[in-house]
Structure 1
Amino acid sequence: MARKAHALEIRLEAFDRNNFDGLTKIDNKWFPLQPGMQWTYEGVTREGNKRVPHRVVQTVTDLTNVVNGVRAIVVWDVDYKDGELQESEIVFFAQDKDGNVWQLGELVEIYEEGEFVGAHAWIAGLEGASAGIMMKADPQLGTPSYSQGYAPAPVNWSDRAKVDQIGQKSCVPSGCYKDVLVIAESSTKEGQDAKQLKYYAPGVGYIRVGWKGRQEKLREKLELREVGKLTPDALAKARDEALAIEKRAYLYGRTPPVELTQSATDTGGQ
């Protein structure tokens, strides 16, 4: 399957909703997503000639949503720069029967000096958007790049990924990890020379973000500082934040509402 955008061929992954079993379990070795898990990253990013402190908090909620016929887990990401909220978003992930983790869309809210200034969204199956693979079941060196999703203008989401290194060792504030997988991500709007590097530790997820190439604005560095499971009260707060984002999203008028996972329902949402 292929589309053309900005005079460049966008090669998309063959998406088959029948290759999903309807479960929300994501136990991919490199990208496990268990409800209640939270990762906190800290580092710096470049804005012009300045290095700005950067902090990202990623939380797997106990919510799900049906996107393009597939039930997906809802992940809440919050991005702070120089101590101020810059972005708050919910992202949808699902694992197919082969063990590949797919990204099915996202809604991003943008803030400046703590004030909401706008949002953008792409949802697979709507407005020409298509799902992509966030992590392969068995990533191998020398294999072709793959699409992480596609959305046309005005979103212009066209990220691609390719295995860059395997078997690495990496130490970050949360600990030292072996057998680290490095994925190089790029997009057509940034150019193929600009690549963000994500370092994945088995059973943990990504532990480091780096870069390679000549694009100064992509010189972001993040390291995993903390990883752990939230208390029931903290998970409930994360759930409420994700639901608030959904309620503000005009696009969701054409998609089913999010729901609690079965396990959360069985325990009264705790």
Structure 2
Amino acid sequence: MSFLTGSPAVAGTADCGPGSMPDVKAADFPSHPEIDNKWLPMEPGTRSEFSGTVTDLSSGTPETHEHRVVSIVTGLTKKIDGVRTVVLWDRDYSDGVLAESELAFFAQNRHGDVWLLGEYPEEFDAGKFTGAPNTFISGLDDAHGGIAMQAHPREGTDAYTQASAPSIDFLDCAQVVERKGSTVKIDEFNPLDGAAAGHQQKYYRSGVGSYKVTASGGDSQEVLNLDKTVKLDAGDLARVNDRAKAQDRHGYEVSPDIYGQTPKAVEH
């Protein structure tokens, strides 16, 4: 089911509807990144843990696996498409084994919108590194950054693009479907997947950020809940920064044509 209120997106479209993909304009962003959008705050040193399940419905017998995500706002920045971004480090575990380690790059413009400008997700099989085929960087290989969270999300507005990378068939569309008091519910989907594509619902709380994920339709359905959020001390943050910088360096070897074209991540 689509929550679009404007023209419906269909398989094969390259955006999320008319006017849904704004241009990345570096001049709209401050030289020193700070993300204080109340719906998606990103203070360096914030560590959030989520737990839940992923159910695979692609075969005749559904398979459900335990899923855990550890998300940390590092003390690093990285310049992407002319914009200085905050580096987020996410690790995904399936049945207790690392499945993905991702660096994601966010920035808030002067209007208060939080943008996603790229991702470098390293994939693992049985804990062993297998590659990073879904890497995208705004401004390279026709990839385009988009809005991860609006400054003032409102019900009834049209869908918007969160990110687009045609070379890997990646298109994230989002639409605000509910806002009640201090919470917002956003529906996400990829129109390139066609009519049978699944939808993911993400819930945000003011001052907290994401706290719940649910799914409807599709072959892979993820459910997550926020377990806890803590603030790392200086020593723990320094160790996180070192590990994130190591993955950043690894990206130059793994993806020299895309990730290798970006400046290295540096201390905030």
Q: Compute the displacement of 1:6 (Å).
A: 7.0
Residues 1:195 and 2:199 aligned together = yes
Return the alpha-carbon distance in structure 2 between the equivalents of residues 67 and 13 of structure 1: 16
Q: How many residues align?
A: 244
TM alignment of 1:133-144, pairs within 5 A = 133-144=147-158
Q: Compute the displacement of 1:97 (Å).
A: 0.3
Return the alpha-carbon distance in structure 2 between the equivalents of residues 112 and 203 of structure 1: 35
Q: Compute the displacement of 1:68 (Å).
A: 0.7
8 Å contact kept, 2:115–2:145:
yes
Partner SS, residue 148 of structure 1: strand
Structure 2 unpaired stretches of 5+: 1-9
Q: 1:255 to 1:216 in 2, by over 3 A?
A: closer
| Aligned equivalent of 2:229 | 227
Partner SS, residue 170 of structure 2: coil
| Aligned equivalent of 1:256 | 263
Return the alpha-carbon distance in structure 2 between the equivalents of residues 84 and 103 of structure 1: 27
Q: Which amino acid aligns with 1:230?
A: L
Return the alpha-carbon distance in structure 2 between the equivalents of residues 235 and 27 of structure 1: 19
Return the alpha-carbon distance in structure 2 between the equivalents of residues 221 and 190 of structure 1: 20
Q: Which amino acid aligns with 1:258?
A: A
| Aligned equivalent of 1:173 | none
| Aligned equivalent of 2:13 | 8
- Richer in strand (by share): 1
Q: Compute the displacement of 1:157 (Å).
A: 1.6
Partner SS, residue 220 of structure 1: strand
Return the alpha-carbon distance in structure 1 between the equivalents of residues 11 and 64 of structure 2: 32
1:70 alignment partner, one of 80, 83, 102: 83
Return the alpha-carbon distance in structure 1 between the equivalents of residues 11 and 246 of structure 2: 34
2:176 alignment partner, one of 160, 163, 181: 163
TM alignment of 1:70-219, pairs within 5 A = 70-120=83-133, 121-153=135-167, 155-167=168-180, 179-191=182-194, 194-212=198-216, 214-217=217-220, 219=221
Structure 1 unpaired stretches of 5+: 168-177, 262-270
Return the alpha-carbon distance in structure 2 between the equivalents of residues 210 and 100 of structure 1: 24
* TM-score after normalising by structure 1: 0.86
Q: 1:51 to 1:6 in 2, by over 3 A?
A: closer
Return the alpha-carbon distance in structure 1 between the equivalents of residues 23 and 143 of structure 2: 13
Return the alpha-carbon distance in structure 2 between the equivalents of residues 21 and 55 of structure 1: 34
* TM-score after normalising by structure 2: 0.87
Q: Compute the displacement of 1:216 (Å).
A: 3.8
Partner SS, residue 239 of structure 2: helix
The farther-off stretch of 228-237 and 125-134 is 228-237
| Aligned equivalent of 2:73 | 60
Q: Compute the displacement of 1:247 (Å).
A: 0.9
The percentage of counterpart residues that share the same residue type is 37
Indicate the RMSD between aligned Cα atoms, in angstroms: 1.6
Q: Compute the displacement of 1:189 (Å).
A: 3.4
Return the alpha-carbon distance in structure 2 between the equivalents of residues 42 and 235 of structure 1: 22
Return the alpha-carbon distance in structure 2 between the equivalents of residues 45 and 18 of structure 1: 40
Q: Which amino acid aligns with 2:239?
A: K
| Aligned equivalent of 1:265 | none
| Aligned equivalent of 1:237 | 239
Return the alpha-carbon distance in structure 2 between the equivalents of residues 191 and 91 of structure 1: 26
| Larger RCO (CA within 8 A; separation ≥ 6) | 2
Return the alpha-carbon distance in structure 1 between the equivalents of residues 191 and 215 of structure 2: 16
Runs of 4+ in 1 over 3 A off after TM superposition: 189-193
Return the alpha-carbon distance in structure 2 between the equivalents of residues 86 and 25 of structure 1: 29
| Aligned equivalent of 2:3 | none
Q: Compute the displacement of 1:242 (Å).
A: 1.2
Q: Deviations over 1:8-58 (max 9, x none)?
A: 242522322111121211000100000000110000111341211100010
Q: Deviations over 1:120-152 (max 9, x none)?
A: 310011111111000000000010100001111
| Aligned equivalent of 1:175 | none
